[in-house]
């Protein structure tokens, strides 16, 4: 009897141990947690590592893997369509005005696309944005359901991404000092197709990088200083890369945070100031005393770098096509030397989508930010509980992240590039999840009737997005290098102008 007992007990443990991973895997698959894991992997790994063959550029590699992520999320959205507490329950919690405005933008984008010179690329732009919105919706839902998503986990992911990049930078910097012929960062491997794409990534993450010191230090001064090291290096890399757009963005964000939250934001502001000072000192030591680079902020020409010329050109295009624009992505329809986008989100939307759609987009963003700020201010009061206080820091940092990236968008293509788009979906979904979670606690909004017609319409949009993105991207993926060669041969322009792909001109 005893013998049987001793042999049965380990066997039951073996069964338990073998089935536990399966149970966890099923929960992740059913709950959509695998989408969160894919998103985390993208944000952590791709700034530092290029997992695809070397023949595929860093830019195109990030785009290909982004499309894979977006399609995986879209398929999960469809699979969970009839689930009572699935992501569409979060969708119906979004204020009806916001849903209607986004629906109008979708209709305008489709109309403009059908009248454009290259409907395939125009529709690709529209439905790629639909998939980005779908990813943000999933993030909001997973956050509310706490399925591999929480403030601490997302902050940890941002920190891990920065740490991995810092390790990659440190190895390269040491090698550049020890081995002749190896260039100093950012002239050496930077993990991005261009240093400005790294700066766009910084615009989203720099305001968040001090959160670990606020959330994880547990009152220990030593731990807080240790957690501030990545923030200081992040600032150092900003100074060394010469990212003017990010600098203007973070300056605008600091002013906005002061105006909105005042003294309540003092802990976050102090840590950002300390990180900036430490980063400036490290920049002087590493990039001015130990090595020299001409890419830093102090070495850059502070002229407009041609933006005014392209903005005047864009203004003329808006006057000629003010109603529905020339078509999404069609600023990239140019001959000879030019930019695939006007380096301004407002001019881009005005040219490609038309003035009414641009004004509607501005109205939606202003309305959303105002609602977020109204809800967030009570969480930053000094008398709130400790747990809500940490959430207040998160709200302040997220507000600063949106303000930094939003300001940067007036001078760059931050809303276009694959890495910054993906982080944008993460940040927007995170904010939406926090907003809806609190809104559900304090108000009882009437439930939206998700009728079969509405349900079918949403499903049709997702199916259309999946089909159009696959239909439009696969031909280009199969001939990325050929498209670049065709462009160079036809225009004698050896500098590629990124848009959806590294070779952004949609004529080739």
Query: In this predicted model, what pLDDT tens digit does every residue of 144-182 receive, in sequence order?
Result: 999 899 999 999 999 999 999 999 999 999 999 898 888
Q: Looking at residue 16, what is its pLDDT?
A: 53
29-38, 282-291, 443-452, 483-492: range with lowest mean pLDDT: 443-452
Q: What value does the mean pLDDT take over residues 108-121?
A: 97
Query: Helices H, strands E: what count in the chain?
Result: 19, 0
Q: Is residue 304 over pLDDT 70?
A: no
Query: In this predicted model, what pLDDT tens digit does every residue of 82-108 receive, in sequence order?
Result: 777 888 888 989 999 999 999 999 999
DSSP string, 71-102: HHHHHHHHHTTT-TTSHHHHHHHS-HHHHHHH
CA triple 18-19-25, angle to 5 deg: 115
Joined together, the tokens standing for residue 431 give 């904010």
More confident residue, 147 or 397: 397
Q: Looking at residue 344, what is its pLDDT?
A: 96
Q: Looking at residue 445, what is its pLDDT?
A: 52
CA triple 367-371-376, angle to 5 deg: 150
439 confidence band (pLDDT: 50, 70, 90): confident
Q: What DSSP designation does 322 have?
A: T
- pLDDT > 90: percent of the chain: 71
H or E element, residue 226: helix 221-241
Q: What value does the mean pLDDT take over residues 115-129?
A: 97
The candidate with the shortest Cα–Cα distance to 443, out of 93, 141, 151, is 93
294, burial (CB in 10 Å: exposed 0-12, middle 13-18, buried 19+) = exposed
336 confidence band (pLDDT: 50, 70, 90): low
Q: What value does the mean pLDDT take over residues 52-69?
A: 96
Q: What value does the mean pLDDT take over residues 295-305?
A: 65
Say which residue the tokens 């509980």 belong to: 385
Distance CA 252, CA 480 (A): 38
Residues 278 and 224: beta-carbon distance below 8 Å: no
Distance CA 148, CA 142 (A): 7
Question: If you average pLDDT over every residue of the chain, what do you get?
Answer: 89
387-391, 414-418, 497-501: range with lowest mean pLDDT: 387-391
Query: In this predicted model, what pLDDT tens digit does every residue of 13-27 receive, in sequence order?
Result: 444 555 666 766 666
The candidate with the shortest Cα–Cα distance to 354, out of 379, 328, 380, 332, is 328
10-14, 330-334, 455-459: range with lowest mean pLDDT: 10-14
Query: In this predicted model, what pLDDT tens digit does every residue of 192-220 receive, in sequence order?
Result: 999 999 999 999 999 999 999 999 988 88
The candidate with the shortest Cα–Cα distance to 476, out of 325, 332, 326, is 332
Q: Is residue 503 over pLDDT 80?
A: yes
- The alpha carbon of residue 484 and the mean position of all alpha carbons in its chain are separated, in whole angstroms, by 26
301 confidence band (pLDDT: 50, 70, 90): low
Residues 38 and 425: beta-carbon distance below 8 Å: no
């Amino acid at each position: 009897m005893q013998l049987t007992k001793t042999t049965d007990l380990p066997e039951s443990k073996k069964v338990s141990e073998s089935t536990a991973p399966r149970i966890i895997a099923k929960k992740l698959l059913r709950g959509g947690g695998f989408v969160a894991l894919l998103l985390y992997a993208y944000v952590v790994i791709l700034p530092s590592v290029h997992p695809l063959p070397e023949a595929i550029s860093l830019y195109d590699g990030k785009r290909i893997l982004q499309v894979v992520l977006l399609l995986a999320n879209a398929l999960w959205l469809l699979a969970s369509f009839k689930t009572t507490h699935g992501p569409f329950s979060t969708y119906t919690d979004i204020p009806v005005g916001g849903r209607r405005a986004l629906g109008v933008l979708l209709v305008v984008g489709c109309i403009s696309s059908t009248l454009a010179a290259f409907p395939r690329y125009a529709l690709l732009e529209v439905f790629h944005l639909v998939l980005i919105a779908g990813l943000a919706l999933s993030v909001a839902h997973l956050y509310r359901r706490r399925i591999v998503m929480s403030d601490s986990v997302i902050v940890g992911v941002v920190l891990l991404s920065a740490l991995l990049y810092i390790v990659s930078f440190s190895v390269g910097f040491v090698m550049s000092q020890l081995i002749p012929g190896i260039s100093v960062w950012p002239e050496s491997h930077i993990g991005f197709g261009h240093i400005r794409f790294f700066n766009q990534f910084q615009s989203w993450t720099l305001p968040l990088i001090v959160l670990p010191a606020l959330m994880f230090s547990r009152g220990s001064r030593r731990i807080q200083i240790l957690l501030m090291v990545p923030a200081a290096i992040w600032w150092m890399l900003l100074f060394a890369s010469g990212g003017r757009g990010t600098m203007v963005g973070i300056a605008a964000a600091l002013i906005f945070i002061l105006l909105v939250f005042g003294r309540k934001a003092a802990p976050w502001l102090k840590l950002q100031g300390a990180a900036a000072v430490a980063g400036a000192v490290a920049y002087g030591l590493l990039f001015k005393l130990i090595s020299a680079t001409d890419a830093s902020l102090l070495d850059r020409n502070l002229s407009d770098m041609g933006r005014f010329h392209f903005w005047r050109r864009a203004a003329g295009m808006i006057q000629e096509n003010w109603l529905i624009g020339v078509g999404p992505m069609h600023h990239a329809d140019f001959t000879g030397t030019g930019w695939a986008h006007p380096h301004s989100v407002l001019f881009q939307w005005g040219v490609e989508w038309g003035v009414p759609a641009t004004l509607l987009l501005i109205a939606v963003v202003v309305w959303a930010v105002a609602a977020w700020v109204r809800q967030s201010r009570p969480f930053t009061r000094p008398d709130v509980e400790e747990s809500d206080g940490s959430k207040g820091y998160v709200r302040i940092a997220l507000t600063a992240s949106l303000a930094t990236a939003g300001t940067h968008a007036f001078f760059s293509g931050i809303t276009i590039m694959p890495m910054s788009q993906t982080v944008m979906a993460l940040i927007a979904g995170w904010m939406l999840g926090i907003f809806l979670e609190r809104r559900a606690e304090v108000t009882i909004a009437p439930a939206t009737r998700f009728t079969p017609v509405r349900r079918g319409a949403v499903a049709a949009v997702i199916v259309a997005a999946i089909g159009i993105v696959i239909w439009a991207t696969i031909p280009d993926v199969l001939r990325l290098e050929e498209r670049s060669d065709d462009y160079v041969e036809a225009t004698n322009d050896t500098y590629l102008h990124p848009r959806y792909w590294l070779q952004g001109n949609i004529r080739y």
